[in-house]
A and B are shown apart, each in its own frame.
Chain A
């Protein structure tokens, strides 16, 4: 049998701390923890806990990526919160509040250039606010005030607002200064299970019409097309996980009978069920992509401040080698 030295050309090296940038397949001994370590990769998608939010809440919005995200507003039934928290991949920090506390709204953009729009602040609101990395500023309203919409967008100058309750088909895009109505979605609905993408490549999936649905629609910049349904019909899932109409993650939500931990990934053609979130959660926030996703807050059934990080198959992962 080949030995490590014969394959790699050197013996297993002993370190007092794990090396900063191990290469794929590298094995080392951590003399501090007395463990043998391997730089491998994830063999399947998996969830791990992230840092807990400072304020447990639900019906919140998200923006950004897994290691650089925002959690925007939300509710504790009541009060409505105008707090915003920023995530750095390990912990959440409170930053400047939004001007209008709201719930069931949407978020878009990045940690330093975000947009939040619509939702409910006592009643349905058209209010839109933009974030420049240091403060929130009210900008032009949506044309149609509505709650339970979904939306996304790469920046605070290019975002999309889709549908909303009750059974709305309206879609609007944001160009940095105003909202413009564009082609409607085919199935009017709110309480989406999720939405993802940009103003030219978006996806809107699940939601509530008069029942919870699995409907999935894809936007190519000029038309909405019904594409393959979700495996699990649900609404009120994590919004904003995904980067285009070929990259989205559906996680959590409410099926009509229970909160769910179900997670599905979208590749542009079909949904595939993958590892569930560790705890069933609805009304959760989301950020990131279907290979590096983030979900936070929500209810299960009490309010939660938990954060879960999703990593897709094939991602680098340092493992302790089991020597038992």
Chain B
């Protein structure tokens, strides 16, 4: 099955990383660990990856990077028991919901 998306790792440097013309031409999805998804087999997606100096990753490689960062966030959430006797609801109120797993698309 032909893939729909391609992935790369690129650090968002700020202004100009994604511009409005690029944003109108293709759909970007950013994920943890500086993983970015753009359409596969797409000239504008390829040009953007080149512009930002992105390192192309397979979907599985990208998923592993995302999983590592999400797992780290989940572990930090689980280990944050700074207040004795705190209920789950109180913990959520204090630090927010536990980060959810993220599944990348092919």
Contact = CB atoms under 8 A, between A and B. Distances in A.
A317 B95 contact: no
A61 interface: no
B29 A261 contact: yes
Interface string A158-172: 000000010000000
Given A302-B73, A324-B43, A311 B16 contact: no
Contact of B20 (A46, A165, A258, A276): A46
B32 interface: yes
Contact of B93 (A49, A165, A259, A311): A165
Contacts of B28: 278
A280 B95 CA distance: 18
Interface SS of A by simple majority: loop
A77 B95 contact: yes
B55 interface: no
Contact of A301 (B14, B19, B70): B70
Nearest to B15: A51
Interface in B69-106: 69-70, 72-73, 80, 93, 95-97, 99-100, 102
Contacts of A282: 96
B15 to A, nearest CB: 5
A293 to B, nearest CB: 13
Contact of A278 (B29, B43, B96): B29
Given A279-B29, A317-B20, A317-B21, A301 B15 contact: no
A320 B13 contact: no
A139 interface: no
Interface residues of A, number: 39
Contacts of B69: 301-302
B93 A278 contact: no
B25 to A, nearest CB: 9
B91 to A, nearest CB: 11
B33 to A, nearest CB: 9
B2 interface: no
A299 B30 CA distance: 12
B20 A279 contact: no
Interface of B: 12-24, 27-32, 43, 69-70, 72-73, 80, 93, 95-97, 99-100, 102
Interface of A: 42-44, 46-52, 58, 77, 90-91, 165, 236, 254, 257-259, 261, 275-276, 278-280, 282-283, 299-302, 306-307, 311, 317, 319-320, 324
23 contacts: A42-B20, A46-B23, A48-B18, A49-B16, A49-B18, A50-B15, A51-B14, A51-B15, A52-B12, A52-B14, A90-B15, A91-B14, A165-B93, A236-B96, A259-B100, A261-B29, A275-B23, A278-B23, A279-B29, A279-B30, A279-B31, A301-B99, A301-B100
The 9 closest A-B pairs by CB, nearest first: A279-B30, A301-B99, A46-B23, A49-B17, A52-B14, A278-B28, A301-B73, A51-B14, A48-B20
